[in-house]
Amino acid sequence: MTRAHPAGPRHADVIPQHEDAGGPPPEAALDALPAAVWPRNAAREADGVVRLAGVDVVTLAREHGTPLFVVDEADFRSRCTEHAAAYGDPALVHYASKAFLTTEIARWVADEGLGLDVCTEGELRTALRADFPPERITVHGNNKSRHELTAALDAGVGAIVLDSYVEIARLDEIARDRDVRAQVMVRVTVGVEAHTHEFIATAHEDQKFGFSLAAGDAAEAVRRVLKSPGLHLVGLHSHIGSQIFDADGFELAARRVIGLLAEMRDEHGSDNPAVADALTTVDLGGGMGIAYTVADKPRSPAWLAGELRAIVERESARVDLVPPRIAVEPGRAIAGPGTVTLYEVGTVKDVELGGGARRRYVSVDGGMSDNIRTALYDAHYDCRLVSRHATGAPPVRSRVVGKHCESGDVVVRDCWLPADVAPGDLVAVAATGAYCYAMSSAYNKVPRPAVVAVADGTSRTLLRRETLDDLARLEVG
Ligand SMILES: Cc1ncc(COP(=O)(O)O)c(C=O)c1O
Ligand SMILES: N[C@@H](CCCC[NH3+])C(=O)O
C-alpha cells in the first residue's frame, strides 16, 4: 500500500522487505488519508479522529457497531454527475448496480438522472422498489431465465442485452406471447485482452459472455434478431472487463464495434428501419479503474470520455457512418471510492517467520465475508488507524486479517500501521464501495455488516446489520 519512504525510521518489529515492499513511511505519513484513495469528504481532525462527511468514526462505531460500511453520499453523487457531464447526457451513463445496490442507492442514481444496469431479478426488483424509471434500466446476464426475461418485459425496461442464441429465441417467444417488441442490444465479444486480473476480464474469446466477433457469431446474432418479430435492435454492447486504467482496450473495442455496425449497415441497409436505431448508440460497458492505493493512477471520466469520443468519431468517419452516441456502465468508478469499511481491532500477534523476520497480524472483527476481493483477486487496499493519531510509535508492516477459519482470510495483505495498534482501536479500509458488500457472505455464520450513509454531519442506515436470527430464518425445522 503506502509506497515507501526510504529514509523512514526502522523498528525491531519491522519485517524485512518482501515482494512489493518498500521501506517504512515517515511516522507523520501514518496519519495521512491520501485524497486519491479516501472518500472526498474524509478528514482527520486535530484530535486525530477521522471524520467522514463530518461524522466521527468513534461515534459511527458506537452507534452502528463494527464492521461497518460507511458511504459518503456526496462522493457517490459527485461521481454520478462527473460521468454524466463527461458523456454529455446522464441517461447515457448506466450505473452498474452489481457494484453495490440498495433502494436508497437506486434513488440517488435516479435523482442524478443516470440509467441503471441490472443483471438479475433481484437487482431489477430493488430498482423497481425505488421507483427507478424502468425505461432507464438495461438488463444484462449470460443466463437470464424465462422468469427474469418476463419480469424485465413486464416492467418495461429500456433494453435487454442478448448474450446467446438460446436467449434470442427465448426472448422473442416471450415477447410475441405478450404481443410486445423487446428493445434489445447484442453483446459483442470483441477479443480484447484487457489489462486486468483474469477473473474480471470479459472480452477475450475463451469466457462465457457475449457473441464472438471473430467467429462471426455477433453478425449472426444480429441477423437472428432482425428476423425476430418480437425483438427490436437498439444497439451493440461491449464490456471488456473491470479495473482498467488505460484507454487502449476501450479503443480497440470501440473500433471493432463500429466495424460491426458498418458491416450491419452494408448487409442489411441503413435505410432498413430495423437497423437504423441500432446505428445510433454503442454501449462500451464499464470497467473504469479506481485508486485502491496511491500506486493506482486512474484517469478522470472526462479524459476517458474524450478518448472514446475521438476514436468513435475517427472510426465512424473511416467507414462513413454518423458517429453513434456512446453509452457506458461504470459501477466501481461511481460506488467504489466513496466508501470505507470500519473495523475494530481484536488481537495483534507477531509471528516468527524464521531468519529473524516477523510478521504482524492485526485481526479485525470482519474479514473475507465482507471483503472477498483480497482473497479472490489479490486486491490491494489502503488501511489506516482512524480512531486516534499515530502517536509517535514507529510504523510496522502489518497484515490485516479477519476472524474467519481460513488462513486466506486476509483483508489487507500489507500496510503500515503504528507499532502500538491495540485491541479496541478502529482501523478503516478505503475504497470498499464496489464489490465488497455486494459479494459479502455470512461465512462462519458471521452476520453481514450494516451500511450507513453519511452526509452533512449525520449518518443514516441504508442496510441494517444482519442478526443471528436473520441467519436462522432460513432453517426449516
Ligand atoms: C456488462 C457489465 N457492465 C458493467 C460492469 C461494471 O464494471 P465496473 O464496475 O468495472 O465499472 C460490469 C462488470 O464488470 C459488467 O459485466
Ligand atoms: N467483482 C469484480 C468485478 C467484476 C465485475 C462484474 N462483471 C471485482 O470486485 O473487481
Residues 59 and 99 in one domain: no
Residue 311: inside a domain, yes or no? Answer: yes
From 97, 101, 138, 200, the mutation candidate for ligand 2 (largest count of ligand atoms within 8 A of CB) is 200
Give the number of other CB atoms < 10 A from CB of residue 477.
2
Question: Which amino acids are annotated as binding site for pyridoxal 5'-phosphate, given as ranges?
Answer: 287, 329-332, 435
CA 452 / ligand 1 centre spacing (Å): 24
pLDDT higher for 247 or 7? 247
Instruction: Tell me: pLDDT of 203 over 70.
Output: no
- Residues 365-422: tens digit of each pLDDT: 999 999 999 999 999 999 999 999 998 889 999 999 999 999 999 999 999 999 999 9
Is 146 inside any structural domain?
yes
Provide DSSP, 272-315: -HHHHGGGSEEE----B---SSTT--PPPHHHHHHHHHHHHHHH
Q: Confirm or reject: Cβ of 240 under 6 Å from ligand 1.
A: no
Q: What is the DSSP string of 109-131?
A: HHHTT-EEEE-SHHHHHHHHHTT
Taking Cα atoms as reference points, which of 171, 167, 192, 188 lies closest to residue 180?
A: 171
- Ligand whose nearest atom lies closest to the CA of 199: 2
CATH classification at residue 256: 3.20.20.10
ipTM given for this complex: 0.98
The CATH number given to whatever domain includes residue 60 is 2.40.37.10
Q: Is 405 annotated in the active site?
A: yes
Q: What is the pLDDT of residue 246?
A: 87
Atom of ligand 2 nearest to the CA of 373: 9
97 alpha carbon – ligand 1 mean position (Å)? 9
Specify the amino acid at residue 176. Answer: R
Closest-CA residue to 50 (of 370, 420, 291, 382): 382
What is the SS3 assignment for 196?
coil
Q: Does residue 199 share a domain with residue 81?
A: yes
Q: Which atom of ligand 1 is nearest to the CA of 335?
A: 9
**Does residue 373's CB lie within 6 angstroms of at least one atom of ligand 1?**
no
Average pLDDT, the chain: 92
**Rounded to the nearest whole angstrom, what is the distance from the C-alpha of residue 242 to the centroid of ligand 2?**
6
Share of the chain above pLDDT 90, in %: 86
* 347, 468: one domain: yes
- The predicted pLDDT at position 178 comes to 96
Instruction: Please state, in angstroms and rounded to a whole number, the distance separating the CA atoms of residues 385 and 387.
Output: 6
Ligand showing the shortest atom-to-Cα distance for residue 242: 1
Is there a contact between 337 and 324 (Cβ–Cβ < 8 Å)? no
Q: What is the dihedral of CA 161, 163, 165, 167, to 10 degrees?
A: -60
* Whether residue 56 is found in the same domain as residue 141: no
Do 312 and 169 fall within a single domain?
yes
Query: What's the 285 CA to ligand 1 centre distance in angstroms?
Result: 6
Place of cell 488481537: 347
Q: How far is the CA of 466 from the centre of ligand 1 (A)?
A: 27
Residue 399 within any structural domain of the chain: yes
206 pLDDT band (50/70/90 cuts)?
Answer: confident
Q: Indicate whether 295 and 164 sit together in one domain.
A: yes
Beta strands 426-430 and 383-385 are antiparallel
Question: Which residue among 199, 240, 380 is best mutated to probe the pocket of ligand 2, counting the most ligand atoms within 8 A of its Cβ?
Answer: 199
6 lies in some domain? no
Q: Is the pLDDT of residue 10 over 50?
A: no
- Segment among 38-42, 202-206, 230-234, 451-455 with least mean pLDDT: 202-206
What's the whole-number mean pLDDT along residues 59-88?
98
Ligand nearest to the CA of 437: 2
Confidence label for 114 from pLDDT (cuts 50, 70 and 90): very high
Q: Is the CB of 75 under 6 A from ligand 1?
A: no
What's the pLDDT score for residue 449?
A: 98
**Segment 174-198 mean pLDDT:** 87
Mean pLDDT within 161-177: 98
What's the mean pLDDT in 29-50?
Answer: 96
Given a contact cutoff of 8 angstroms between Cβ atoms, the answer to whether 284 and 326 are in contact is yes
Residue 267 to residues 157, 216, 264, 328, 375, Cα–Cα distance (Å): 29, 13, 5, 27, 47
Atom in ligand 2 nearest the alpha carbon of residue 98: 6
> Do 220 and 360 belong to one domain?
no
- Distance (Å) from CA 193 to ligand 2 centroid: 16
CB of 140 within 6 A of ligand 1: the answer is yes
Per the model's pLDDT, the better-predicted residue between 87 and 196 turns out to be 87
CA–CA dist 74, 21 (Å, integer):
34
Give the C-alpha separation, 413 to 374, whole Å: 8
Q: Please answer whether residues 138 and 116 qualify as being in contact, where contact means their C-beta atoms are separated by less than 8 angstroms.
A: yes
| Range(s) of the domain holding residue 300 | 74-335
**Residue 21 in domain:** no
Which bound ligand lies closest to the C-alpha atom of 371?
2
Residues 454, 381 share a domain: yes
Q: How confident is the model at residue 28 (pLDDT cuts 50, 70, 90)?
A: confident
Question: Taking a C-beta distance cutoff of 8 angstroms, is the pair 407, 370 a contact?
Answer: no
* Per-residue pLDDT, 196: 60
60, burial (CB in 10 Å: exposed 0-12, middle 13-18, buried 19+): buried
Per-residue pLDDT tens digits for 286-329: 999 999 999 999 999 999 999 999 999 999 999 999 999 999 99
**Binding pocket residue ranges, ligand 2, CB within 6 Å:** 98, 200, 242-243, 373, 377, 435
Which of 107-116, 145-154, 387-396 shows the lowest per-residue confidence on average (mean pLDDT)? Answer: 387-396
User: What's the 472 CA to ligand 2 centre distance in angstroms?
Assistant: 29
User: Are 420 and 272 in a shared domain?
Assistant: no
Mean pLDDT, residues 43-48: 96
Residues 6+ away with beta carbon under 8 Å from 348 = 360, 361, 362, 363, 421, 422, 423
Q: What is the CA(286)–ligand 1 centre distance, in A?
A: 4
- Residues 6 or more apart whose Cβ sits within 8 Å of residue 181: 175, 229, 230, 231, 232
The structural domain count of the chain equals 2
Helix (H, G, I), strand (E, B) or coil at 318: helix
Ligand having the closest approach to the CA of 99: 1
Same domain, 394 and 251: no
The domain boundary, picked from 335, 354, 375, lies at 335
Active-site hit among 119, 405, 415, 436: 405
φ, ψ (nearest 5 deg) of residue 319: -110, 15
User: From CA 23, how far away is CA 7, in angstroms rounded?
Assistant: 8
DSSP secondary structure letter of residue 246? S
Domain match, 290 and 184 both: yes
Q: Are 304 and 86 in contact (CB under 8 A)?
A: yes
Query: Please, which pLDDT band fits residue 13 given cuts at 50, 70 and 90?
Result: very low
The β-bridge relationship of strands 357-364 and 159-162 is unpaired
Residues 318 and 357 both lie in one domain:
no
Q: Whose CA is nearest to atom 14 of ligand 1?
A: 242
Q: Output the known binding site for substrate.
A: 332, 373, 377, 406, 435
When mean pLDDT is compared across 22-36, 193-207, 435-449, 462-476, the lowest value belongs to 193-207
The helix/strand/coil state of 450 is: strand
Q: Closest Cα to atom 4, ligand 1: which residue?
A: 286
End-to-end CA distance of the chain: give it in Å, rounded.
48
Q: Does the residue 93 lie in any domain?
A: yes
User: Which of 335, 350, 382 is the endpoint of a domain?
Assistant: 335
272 compared with 450, residue with greater pLDDT: 450
Q: Select from 12, 8, 14, 7 the least CA-distant residue to 417.
A: 14
Is the C-beta atom of 189 inside 6 A of ligand 1? Answer: no
Burial of 68 (0-12, 13-18, 19+ CB in 10 A): buried
Q: How many Å is the Cα radius of gyration of the chain?
A: 24
pLDDT in tens, 94-105: 999 999 999 999
Per-residue confidence (pLDDT) for residue 274, from 0 to 100 = 82
CA-closest candidate to residue 284, choices 319, 350, 230, 330 = 330
CA distance linking residue 381 with residue 352, whole number of Å: 24
Using most ligand atoms within 8 A of CB, pick from 97, 98, 202, 237 the residue to mutate for ligand 2.
98
If DSSP codes are grouped into helix, strand and coil, which group holds residue 336?
coil
Ligand 2 pocket mutation pick from 204, 432, 435 by most atoms within 8 angstroms of CB: 435
Short-list 213, 221, 217, 222, CA closest to 252: 213
- Is pLDDT at 2 greater than 70 in this prediction? no
Q: Which atom of ligand 2 is nearest to the CA of 435?
A: 9
